[in-house]
Amino acid sequence: MAEAVAASAAEDNLIEIRDLVFRRGERLIFDGLSMTVPRGQITALMGPSGCGKTTLLRIIGGQLKPEAGQVLLRGEDVTRASRGELLELRKDIGMLFQSSALFTDMSVYENVAFPLREHTDLPEEAIRDLVLMKLNAVGLRGARDLMPSQLSGGMARRVALARAIALDPCLLMYDEPFTGQDPISMGVVVSLIRRLNAALGATSLLVSHDIHETAGISDKIYILDGGKVVAGGQPAELPEHPSSRVRQFVTGTPDGPVPFHYPADQLAYDLLGDAPR
Amino acid sequence: MIDFVRSLGDRSLDRMASLGRATIMWATALWGLPKLSELPLLVRQIYNVGVLSLVIIILSAFSIGAVIALQFYTQLSRFGAEDAVGLGLALVLLRELGPVVTGLLFAGRAGSAVTAEIGLMKTTEQLSSMEMMGVDPLRRIVAPRLWAGIISMPLLTAMFNVVAIYGGMVVAVEWLGSDLGSFWSGMQDSVELWNDVGKGMVKSVIFAIVVTWIAVFQGYDTEPTPEGIGLATTRTVVMSSVMILALDFILTLSMYGEFK
């Protein structure tokens, strides 16, 4: 009975992370982090800068190896996969990078066609149709002949999104998709993430600092701090969280458990020049 | 004292780890011999590192050939041996200067460009995104550049030698009035296909492997910042130049031996 419940839970979750430990040099980034990403939903990872959100995406994608722990993607442990197995596994993952990471020597069309050319034997006509459909989904069918240097930041993000969904992946990972976007571009990206997740029947994992946009589209939010998950739940639950640190993060209060001032002597000491050393 | 030993140990371990990463990268990329479908990638890189280096190779070769002929003629004519200019020029170029100068120019022109290009791709997360798409950047980005360098540099060396010999001929024969027949016949009589031309080409292939290896590794392993790319590019040129000069001495000793 217990095994059946565990199996059913595993089927409900696309990703399960168990007791993850990761160190960068001497610095401990994750200290026994555990979390799950439910299938078919949009899950957001939030937390202060440097808490390891992007690092976690890279560990899930197998680009970084943790010191200990398991990262199960569809039941397969990513941390134990060989280089060849990882390359195979990643065909089912679409990732949107913070910098968009478009190939600068290829046009918009060629960028979106790239994963299709690399991983399928489709004839050129089929590739063309697919590329145009993906570009149409992000509203940039008319920009197919432009080079990345001719795109605005928002357009580049949308092209990168079209490329990320080219192979209809089961997992979409977004690294700070709203950063540096004007309000219109941000609105477009927010609505695209929601629409594409539903249209593809995919699971989305979103890293962001923008609490309002993230709360508006996420089914579940995890807040990371100190190498662990300090809070997790539906967006509406977080402002009522018992931890004052979590509440400060969610409401964006400048001073609180996370102080506004970097630790220093009293201002008067510094101004009068007789600060105790 | 303990701190000094510790930092020495740290640096040595870093160097060893770096050498290990470079070897794994090199072996993985070389193993990925371009497939027929990837031939356009290779051709494009041969154009980038080879064809685009032609101008600097030809100009330098002509000038170096002319200068050597001038110096040889001046010295040899004192002993009435100006007919040996062609022979001396050919031997110096085929055995030493051709592979070495081409290697140095190649490192400065193509090696630095390869490092900067791969480094910038890393900084702008293009390599990471490729990896996340299930495409191996070692096969798609590194291997074609590595093979292009190994194919291009011996060809550039051959081109360098030919142009430099013609540059020398222009000075020695056309300008200083040395005998054209003696210029070519001295070369034909004494230059050996394997001992002079062949061994020079072997040197060139070895320099090509070393320079392209350093260039692609420095780009691939760069710190993803503007300073990191600058440092990696400089390191490519400096390390390649030092390695070429050091290896040339070792290769000359082992190939031509018996100097005493």
Q: Which residues in chain A are contacts of B136 at CB distance < 8 A?
A: 83, 87
Count of alpha carbons within 13 angstroms of residue A49, beta-carbon side: 0
Are the Cβ atoms of B132 and A90 closer than 8 angstroms? yes
Helices (H), chain B: 2-31, 39-49, 54-77, 85-91, 98-106, 112-123, 126-132, 137, 143-169, 180-190, 199-220, 226-256
- Do residues A134 and A166 touch, judged by C-beta distance below 8 A? yes
Q: Is the dihedral of CA B2, B4, B8, B10 positive or negative?
A: positive
Positions in chain A short of pLDDT 70? 1-11, 274-277
Are the Cβ atoms of B125 and A87 closer than 8 angstroms? no
Are the Cβ atoms of A99 and B133 closer than 8 angstroms? no
User: CA-CA distance, B218 to B25, in Å (whole number)?
Assistant: 11
- Do residues B160 and A126 touch, judged by C-beta distance below 8 A? no
Please provide the average confidence, as pLDDT, over all residues in chain B. 92
How many contacts (CB atoms, under 8 Å) link A and B? Answer: 49
Summarize pLDDT for A88-124 with one digit per residue, the tens. Answer: 899 999 999 989 999 999 999 999 999 999 999 999 9
Q: Which residues in chain B are contacts of A160 at CB distance < 8 A?
A: 129
Structure tokens at A112: 């979106």
Residue range B113-125: mean pLDDT, rounded: 95
Q: Which is more confidently placed, A276 or B27?
A: B27
Q: Show Cβ contacts of residue B33 under 8 Å, excluding neighbours closer than 6 positions.
A: B143, B147
Are the Cβ atoms of A87 and B124 closer than 8 angstroms? no
Percent of chain B surpassing pLDDT 90: 72
A-interface mutation test, from B38, B127, B132, most A Cβ less than 10 A away:
B132
Are the Cβ atoms of A99 and B125 closer than 8 angstroms? yes
Chain B contacts to A (CB-CB under 8 A): 124-126, 128-136, 140
- Do residues B176 and B230 touch, judged by C-beta distance below 8 A? no
pLDDT computed for residue A238 by the predictor: 82
B-interface mutation test, from A91, A95, A134, most B Cβ less than 10 A away:
A95
Q: Give the residue on A whose Cα is nearest the Cα of B126.
A: A101
pLDDT computed for residue A70 by the predictor: 94
Of B128, B129, B136, the CB nearest to A87: B136
Per-residue CA distances from A53 to A57, A180, A250, B158 (Å): 7, 18, 16, 53
